[in-house]
């Protein structure tokens, strides 16, 4: 056996010849190992890496974020930057209730196919909110884009394609409104500059002088891309 603090969340075996360990965004230990290597050798390797593992687990951006279980009732997550709690009920419609006096917002979610229906609802709201923001900012910036697509990627918040088509992960919906606006302006700015040069950031700053403050949430909370 191995100490709980070093216990791997996942061991990924392949044709590789060496061992490697990484700490994911949630502070979990992930091991990449040769197919036939014994667990004892893997655990011995982890014990030698103990100091490194504990150091990086402590830095895990999402180490305090709980991922949803199969039963979503009571699960709390960010939605437009606010804590939102899921309540399952036997109805058929998804209902949203704003919190008052500091209380969490609430999403009343049908019990049947709850996760599938929640993701569909999130995508529909993301398309509406991001489309409205992109149209508004495009008019202000005097530009246009051919299309806007909602994706389910867990690797990035958004992207601007070579033909200026815009892609936004529905998971950007977790971010505060000010941060969503920043991401929209960021991607529209790529229509002017297809890179992250000084010229690009000058465009972003022209429209959002406080963009550095707005993007801070993304740096601190990128782990929430893994939720749902």
pLDDT score for 124:
97
Structure-token match 């599938």, residue found:
116
User: Which long-range CB contacts under 8 A does 14-19 form with residues at least 24 apart?
Assistant: 19/45
By C-alpha distance, which of 183, 223, 165 is closest to 25?
223
Q: Kindly state whether residues 109 and 130 are assigned to the same domain.
A: no
For residue 213, what are the contacts with CB-CB under 8 A and spacing of at least 6?
none
33 domain-assigned: yes
69 domain-assigned: no
pLDDT score for 121:
97
Which range among 22-26, 54-58, 113-117 has the greatest average pLDDT?
A: 113-117
Q: Kindly state whether residues 138 and 217 are assigned to the same domain.
A: yes
Q: Span 42-69, mean pLDDT?
A: 78
Q: Kindly state whether residues 134 and 212 are assigned to the same domain.
A: yes
Instruction: Please give the DSSP secondary-structure letter assigned to residue 85.
Output: E
pLDDT score for 225:
77
41 domain-assigned: yes
pLDDT at 186 over 70: yes
* pTM for the full predicted model: 0.74
* CB of 160 closer than 8 Å to CB of 188: yes
Q: What are phi and psi of 224, to 5 degrees?
A: -70, -10
CA distance 214 to 182: 6
66 domain-assigned: no
Q: Kindly state whether residues 128 and 208 are assigned to the same domain.
A: yes
pLDDT in tens, 91-107: 999 999 998 877 899 99
Domain count, the chain: 3
Q: Kindly state whether residues 178 and 200 are assigned to the same domain.
A: yes
193 domain-assigned: yes
CA distance 46 to 19: 10
174 domain-assigned: yes
Q: Span 5-17, mean pLDDT?
A: 89
Instruction: Please give the DSSP secondary-structure letter assigned to residue 27.
Output: S
3-class secondary-structure state, position 110: strand
Q: Kindly state whether residues 130 and 219 are assigned to the same domain.
A: yes
Structure tokens at 125: 């709201």
pLDDT score for 77:
87
Domain that holds residue 84: 76-114
């Amino acid at each position: 056996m191995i100490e709980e603090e070093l216990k791997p969340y996942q061991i990924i075996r392949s044709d590789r010849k060496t061992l490697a360990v990484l700490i994911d965004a949630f502070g979990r230990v992930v091991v990449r190992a040769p197919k036939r290597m014994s667990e004892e050798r893997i655990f011995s390797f982890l014990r030698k890496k103990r100091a490194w593992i504990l150091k990086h687990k402590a830095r895990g951006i999402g180490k305090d974020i709980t991922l949803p279980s199969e039963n979503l009732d009571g699960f709390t997550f960010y939605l437009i930057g606010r804590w939102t709690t899921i309540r399952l009920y036997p109805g058929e419609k998804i209902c949203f209730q704003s919190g008052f006096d500091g209380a969490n917002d609430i999403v009343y979610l049908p019990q049947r196919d709850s996760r599938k229906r929640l993701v569909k609802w999130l995508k529909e709201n993301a398309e509406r909110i991001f489309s409205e923001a992109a149209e508004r900012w495009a008019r202000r910036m005097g530009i246009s884009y051919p299309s806007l697509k909602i994706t389910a990627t867990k690797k990035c918040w958004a992207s601007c394609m070579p033909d200026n088509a815009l892609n936004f992960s529905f998971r950007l919906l977790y971010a505060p409104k000010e941060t969503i606006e920043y991401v929209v302006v960021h991607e529209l700015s790529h229509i002017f500059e297809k890179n992250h040069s000084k010229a690009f950031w000058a465009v972003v700053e022209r429209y959002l002088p406080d963009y550095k403050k707005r993007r801070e949430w993304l740096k601190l909370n990128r782990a929430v891309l893994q939720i749902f």
